[in-house]
A and B are shown apart, each in its own frame.
Chain A
Amino acid sequence: MKTLKYIGLFIFLIGFGLLTATPFIGSYTLTDKIMQENLSEYELEVLGDAYRKDIVGKTYETSFGISQDLMKPYKVKNEEFRSNEQWDKLLHTPPKDFAFKIAKASSNGFIANNGWLIVFLTFGLGIIGSLMYIFPNIKLMGHPGIKNDGIYHSSMQSRGWLGFLMASWFISLYIMLYFYPHWIVSMTNVVDPLKGLFIEGAGASQWFLYGLLYTVAMTVMGIRMIIKYRHNKYQIFRTCSVIFFQVVFAFMLVEILPIFNLPAMDLKNAWPLDYDFLFDWNVQAHFAAGTIGRFMFFWGIALSLVLIPLFAYIYGKRWYCSWVCGCGGLAETLGDPYRQLSNKKMWAWKLERWLVHGVLVFAIIMTIFAGYHTYNVLNNPQMDQKDILLGISAYDIRSWYGFAIGAIFAGVVGTGFYPIFGNRVWCRFGCPLAAYLGIVQRFKSRFRITTNGGQCISCGNCSTYCEQGIDVKAYAQRGQNIIRASCVGCGVCSAVCPRGVLKLENGPEEGRFGNDGPIVLGNEGFSLKDHQGE
């Protein structure tokens, strides 16, 4: 069994290593034909000569190399237009996206030519290897129960060098996805055959690669989670649920809807997490797609304004954050090995409240600007400067938000730093939807984590394994119930409690906070106070 596990690890590392090495494996040749096919007429006019002179026919070994050369004249031309104030002549595609597209079209080489073989050697070996590593745990980990042995002795799980190495890998991936997609063209070429299953011959973008990696990681690590918690049905059901929503809603439907000329909408992704919901192009795409498109638009509104608060009232924010959400899903599966790394200190809680509510306010303001702009686009087509409100451009606010929150906070920091800060950095400190759900959960909800009378022994397992950094035992040891805006209801505190002290439950709001302390149940010399002031 152990041998099988280590063979699995070895196979996984081959697949993983190969995928990681892909940016350095490849061959890119821009031909005149490719150029004609992929550049717009105007781009050809501006850049065609420069490219014919320096790039066409030349073979590059990395996408980094070819895109540097592609971007050089592009930037030079734009500089020229700017200094001549020829604003109408500017090339508008962001250079990184332009370079990505052309480099992708110019790919030939080993990866581009070996389709399914490469898929097998990277994703295939990665999946097979990791499953071979995970499944023997059923036997090796012994009798079902809490399996946290050695976590703080493990380099990977306690901020050792392996943890930092893993974090560097995640962070690099995110930086490349958001800011340097043209560096990882061959990584996207790896999954072209899979993209082809949805749309024949279509090349995979970096976002398809990301979506696939995300879904595969969640599924494989979800299986690990289920095996780890196989004695606990709450964890099993919850994990199955997040995997389902990721595979079907976030991945499959987003690929399938466009085939039917519908907007590629993740139907479970709610504003304000889905921050571009009211952007002009998104609204237009919905309205352009007929009745179903319109329905999807109103579904998005109903989801955010009705279903989110309603379900948060009935079940707490967990129904979304740890049963449905993709970000939450990744945190609960890929991120589970790192949940203990969240900061439990009081100052972290203070920081959390400022940050997460700050982002919510930012998201609302940004959306007001975007909505104003979209309204004008739809209703005042004659208007000049449709994007300007109070002297500020909606485009600017949108791009600030997209950069600071969408890319840096949610991606690079939120996920990249799993092995350093724990698996819920984004959900805890950054997610505006979590902030919104949290306000409902804190002030108007039937959800609470009930503390079982006086049974707490202050051991600290609940706090340690709270991914949201809630100091659960601080409440439990006083006999209080746990009601915190940030609690995503993952149920792990209840699972790891060695004395059966914690239970997630929904019930009437009356008496929700439980015993007000300071006396804990069991001492007849005192009468307990609940929050109704009894």
Chain B
Amino acid sequence: MEKVVIIGNGISGVTATRHIRKNSEKELLIISAETEHFYSRTALMYVFMGHMRYQDIKPYEDWFWSKNRIELMFDYVEHIDTDNKQLDMASGQQVSYDTLIVAVGSKSNKFGWPGQELDGVQGLYSWQDLELLEENVKEAKRAVIVGGGLIGVELAEMLHTRDVKVTVLVRESEFWGNVLPKEEGMLVTRHLRDDHHVDLRLETELDEILDDGNGRVKGVKTKSGEIIDCQIVGLTPGVSPNIDFLKSSNIEVNRGVLVNHYFETNIPDVYSIGDCAEFKNPVEGRRNLEQVWYTGRMHGETVAQTICGNKMTYQPGPWFNSAKFMDIEYQTYGMVLNKPKDNEDEFYWEHKNGKICLHLRWDKDSDVFTGLNVFGIRLRHELFDKWLREGAKIEEILSELKTANFDPEFYDHYEEEIIEKFNGEKQRNVKIKPKKWWLKLLKS
């Protein structure tokens, strides 16, 4: 029986494993050095905040693995010998494979700041990071977080629940400015500052992390020379592929493990998926490193087909993503860059409370909708997926906004207000259609 070994028990590796099992009787082994079972990385924060326990963030009960004949190994792969198809484990044992999937995820970026190895300085990615944070928070009154992205906000929210005052240093002039348009960045900034009293400092760069003399952090110095006392420094300026252990192997790497659209590496029978995979040629309109939950899942779904004999290229549908900034939910459908492309027109609506907004983009010439960001309103993924695939026009989408709403029942609606503003600003005459059953719209 062919033996497939999967290194990494995150969403990518586990999805690939599950789908291989659905389509074959191959022998399956998942190796992880992080936790014995798969857990949802995106839920780490909730464990720290006391919303859930470790067992609550495991997507499958522990019996799931043996029932599906998936073997689990809690060990660390030190070296991959692709010539002999063998893995050398930290425990000293060796594991052979016929097919290998490298799905080892990321590690937190550290940009060589002086003091970045001090005690109390950490990222937030793994279960071990969470355990470390539990230790570090014990004596902490104040923390400095470096990098304003999703994980930075999560870390700020987590620390707030333990009464730690948080300062966030953001290098750019807008919050998450390399991803979010300016308006959204400001909305999040206001929410963090005004509603949650986060000391968010834009255009502030870390210079060095200060040692208290015992190898523990006592503060940070910014590029402008200001010193901020703190007991925790959270480094959250993004993540990069966790591939140091591959350097001794024949597998070709750049920033990540280099793969083609079948997730094949340069070595036959070795695949790589998820955060750690780097496309030699990215799928059109997408990045060559895809480091979100949803893409990891799609990588896993796809590579399982190839491994089971149904060779399939990676064909992601329209981009989508979501997040939550403290109390404000964010969804995005289609590709919305921080600045509109040359061919794009855009429209931005914000509720007068400054916490709800909708940002639309479309092609200037053809009117074809290209994407949206939405904060504080939930929208239907299926409908936007359909509209993006079919090249629906901006006016059609706006007119069906009521049907596309996914908020809970009885919530306030803003569709009319949005369209009124749109018509006024863009000299158009979109008429809003009454809400209809969304599946009818989906199938039409």
Contact = CB atoms under 8 A, between A and B. Distances in A.
B261 to A, nearest CB: 10
B415 to A, nearest CB: 16
Given A150-B161, A500-B406, A504-B408, A457 B293 contact: yes
A234 to B, nearest CB: 5
Contact of A460 (B22, B57, B379, B385): B57
10 contacts: A149-B49, A234-B410, A346-B61, A452-B380, A458-B42, A459-B57, A461-B46, A473-B59, A522-B316, A523-B316
Interface of B: 11, 18-19, 22, 40, 42-43, 46, 49-53, 56-59, 61, 63, 161, 191, 195-196, 293-294, 297-298, 301-302, 305, 312-318, 320, 322-324, 326-327, 329, 331, 378-382, 385, 389, 406-412, 437-439
A340, A346, A453 pick with most chain B CB within 10 angstroms: A453
Nearest to B409: A234
Given A233-B410, A455-B331, A524-B315, A498 B324 contact: yes
B56 A460 contact: yes
A408 B409 CA distance: 37
A524 to B, nearest CB: 4
A294 interface: no
B51 A500 contact: no
Contacts of A384: none
Contacts of A344: 56
B133 to A, nearest CB: 14
Given A452-B381, A524-B317, A499 B322 contact: yes
A153 B50 contact: yes
Contacts of A511: 439
Given A150-B50, A460-B43, A460-B57, A522 B408 contact: no
Interface of A: 142-146, 148-154, 231-234, 237, 340, 344-346, 450, 452-455, 457-461, 463-464, 473-474, 477, 491, 494-496, 498-500, 503-505, 507-508, 510-511, 518-526
B294 A518 contact: no
Given A149-B51, A525-B305, A526-B301, A454 B161 contact: no
Contact of A503 (B161, B329, B406): B406
Nearest to A522: B317
A491 B387 CA distance: 28
A152 B323 CA distance: 23
B305 A463 contact: no
Contact of B409 (A151, A505, A507): A505
Given A454-B294, A518-B19, A524-B316, 11 more contacts: A146-B327, A234-B409, A346-B61, A452-B380, A459-B46, A459-B57, A461-B43, A499-B323, A500-B329, A523-B316, A524-B315
B382 A521 contact: yes
B373 to A, nearest CB: 13
A22 B302 CA distance: 68
B388 to A, nearest CB: 11
Contacts of A458: 11, 40, 42-43, 59
A518 B18 contact: yes
Contacts of B297: 454, 520, 522
Nearest to B380: A452
Contacts of B19: 518
A522 B385 contact: yes
A508 B59 contact: no
Contacts, number: 171
B50 A149 contact: yes
Nearest to B58: A460
B11 A152 contact: no
A498 B385 CA distance: 20
A464 B52 contact: yes
A454 B293 CA distance: 10
Nearest to B62: A345
Contacts of A233: 408-412
A153 B47 CA distance: 10
B317 A523 contact: yes
Nearest to A450: B406
A144 B322 contact: no
Contact of A491 (B43, B161, B312, B408): B408
B410 A237 contact: yes
A461 B382 CA distance: 22
B40 A142 contact: no
A498 B312 CA distance: 32
Given A150-B50, A463-B56, A464-B52, A499 B381 contact: no
Given A233-B408, A459-B46, A461-B43, A452 B378 contact: yes
Nearest to A344: B56
Q: Which 7 A-B pairs have the closest CB atoms?
A: A453-B381, A145-B327, A500-B378, A459-B43, A233-B410, A524-B315, A143-B195
B270 to A, nearest CB: 21
B375 to A, nearest CB: 11
Nearest to A452: B381
Contacts of B312: 525
Nearest to B300: A523
Contacts of A146: 51, 327
Contacts of A522: 294, 297-298, 316-318, 320, 381, 385
A148 to B, nearest CB: 4
B406 A452 contact: yes
A455 B40 contact: no
A453 B382 contact: yes
A461 B45 CA distance: 11
B69 to A, nearest CB: 17
A474 B322 CA distance: 19
Contacts of A151: 50-51
Contacts of A505: 409
Nearest to A471: B61
A495 B410 CA distance: 13
Contacts of A477: 59
B21 to A, nearest CB: 10
B322 A461 contact: no
Contacts of B412: 233
Given A150-B161, A345-B61, A505-B409, A464 B51 contact: yes
Given A460-B52, A498-B324, A522-B385, A149 B161 contact: yes
B40 A521 contact: no
Contacts of A142: 195-196
Contacts of B389: 524
A445 B421 CA distance: 39
A464 B253 CA distance: 40
B343 to A, nearest CB: 23
B320 A455 contact: yes
Contacts of B315: 523-525
B151 to A, nearest CB: 14
A143 B376 CA distance: 14
Nearest to B41: A457
B380 A453 contact: yes
A525 B317 CA distance: 8
Most B CB within 10 A of own CB, among A150, A345, A525: A525
B326 A143 contact: yes
A460 B59 contact: yes
Contact of B322 (A143, A152, A500, A521): A500
A525 B313 contact: yes
Contacts of A463: 56
Contacts of B18: 518
Contacts of A231: 327
A152 B381 CA distance: 32
B354 to A, nearest CB: 12
A233 B381 CA distance: 23
A507 B439 contact: yes
B320 A454 contact: yes
A145 B191 CA distance: 12
A453 B439 contact: no
- Greatest chain B CB density within 10 A among A142, A454, A494 is at A454
A459 B40 contact: yes
A495 B378 CA distance: 11
B53 A152 contact: yes
A151 B385 CA distance: 37
